Amino acid sequence: MDHSSNTHDAAAASGGKCPVDHSAPAAQAVVPSSALPAVEMHRMRQVLSIWARPEPYLKSCRAKYGSRFRVTIIPGVPLYVISAPEDVKQMFLAPRDVLHTGSSNTPIEKWTGRNGLAWLDEAEHTSRRRAVMPAFRGDAMKRVEQAVYRLAKEHVASWPRDKAVATHPFAHAYTVKVIMEVLFGEHRPSNEAAMYAEVMKMLTFNSKPSTMKPFHLLPPAKLRRMRLFRPNGVNEFLVRRDRVHAMVNAAIEERRRSGAEGDDLLGVMLGIRDEDGNPPSVTEMRDEIMTQFLAGTETTASAICWALEFLTRHPQVVEKLRTEMAAGDGDEYLTAVVHEVLRLGPPIQQIVPREVVKPVELGGVRYAPGDRLWASAYLLNRDEHNYPDPDAFKPERFLGVKPASHTWIPFGGGHTRCLGDRIALMELKATLTEILTTTDVQRVGAEAVPAHSRTVVNIPKDGARMVFHPRRAKAAAAAR
């Protein structure tokens, strides 16, 4: 099936005539984005559906409207969900001056500020990305890899045994420790322990629905009133964020005074100079660090939880993994498992929208300036035309097969693909290896657990409740 024909599916589902003429042998007719179907649901109901029931909401929309449809969750913003591979591929290949991502990061601005890489486009984005890349590649990667496996061993060993616990808080604590290594490397700030503790407390705000609100854009009087209602968590978050900002600023100044160089993110940024010879401002460096505290930790913690959610329902996969791990001569099957986990449970089900700044045509649809394109990793990965038996957990589909850049997008794609993708894959492999070789994992409930929103990511609704028993096979071997 040609995915570019899904506009026809959308029109047929709504009882209308397909706006694209498929009968003409010449080039496909081009229709305006306004011709695409819009979700017929009250705006607030759509917002709540994306927060509380994202998977059934997305599936029902795809079934009714096809691979392209408009959601009305942001007043006045034409937001188009796309999930046809060719559309996604063309979106990723669009020139930098045609599609922007910075303007779509308003929901996380309260965390990241507006001065980090996530907010930059075109030449500014290219320059900053190239400048900070050394913190995520080469020698820095080798240093981080050692820390990833050491921390996985330490953290998994400290997780409670023989009692039911939500895995997410423990996985999240691990990923924050890893990101501290990425940020500061061998030159740890003197306030590291206090900063880590405060960051962990600050990030708990992500579990509250109020985190979805752009309250940072409210007039001061309205924000004060919102802070007075303590159950929403806004006041506590802002207080803790101010503390973290002060700690990060102090760490930057301490490192600057020391003169210590390094391939960690802070060390790299302290060495950046613009065309006038000026370094990034303290605010720019702080915003990059705050972005990593959010995006560099929540995503991987989510993936660890989804991995356990799937593996505990597929014991045969666990046994294959343990056999490979015991042999110690490669990780081909583990790599396939990780790819399948990220296919079925992409932490970010809808990647950061692209704002159209110049007219662009994707799959026979012409999008106008002001439109936003919201590629759905969830729908793309659950399409039977891309993956036969799409809802089944089958790591074998990735054995000897490299995931395609436009049908497997847990890290986004194009100019703004996640910088930390290799680190995330490494963290997943390290934690799964440590968990499966030292524990027997038992899920608390028999039924599959649905996704639930946690600001930028989706996690199993119960936080992946598991019981970690000491590994019986390992204990028996030790006894012999």
**Binding site as annotated, residues:** 418
Taking the C-alpha atoms of residue 180 and residue 146, their distance in angstroms, rounded to an integer, is 13
Structure token pair of residue 247: 């700690």
Taking the C-alpha atoms of residue 316 and residue 298, their distance in angstroms, rounded to an integer, is 28
Q: What phi and psi, each to the nearest 5 degrees, are found at residue 161?
A: -115, 145
Burial class (CB in 10 A: 0-12, 13-18, 19+), 468: buried
Q: What is the C-alpha radius of gyration for the chain, rounded to an integer number of angstroms?
A: 23
| Residue pointed to by tokens 């709504």 | 14
In this structure, the dihedral spanned by the alpha carbons of residues 108, 114, 120 and 125, taken in order and rounded to 10 degrees, is -100
Residues paired with residue 68 on neighbouring β-strands, in sequence order? 82
Taking the C-alpha atoms of residue 135 and residue 17, their distance in angstroms, rounded to an integer, is 52
Residues comprising the binding site for heme?
Answer: 418
Is-contact 414 94, C-beta < 8 A? Answer: yes
Structure token pair of residue 50: 């994306």
Taking the C-alpha atoms of residue 467 and residue 456, their distance in angstroms, rounded to an integer, is 27
Return the number of other C-beta atoms located less than 10 Å from residue 293's C-beta. 23
Distances in whole angstroms, Cα of residue 370 to Cα of each of 102, 120, 356: 13, 17, 6
| Residue pointed to by tokens 């990059």 | 288
Residue 356: its H or E element: strand 354-356
Looking at residue 116, the DSSP 8-state letter turns out to be S
Taking the C-alpha atoms of residue 241 and residue 231, their distance in angstroms, rounded to an integer, is 17
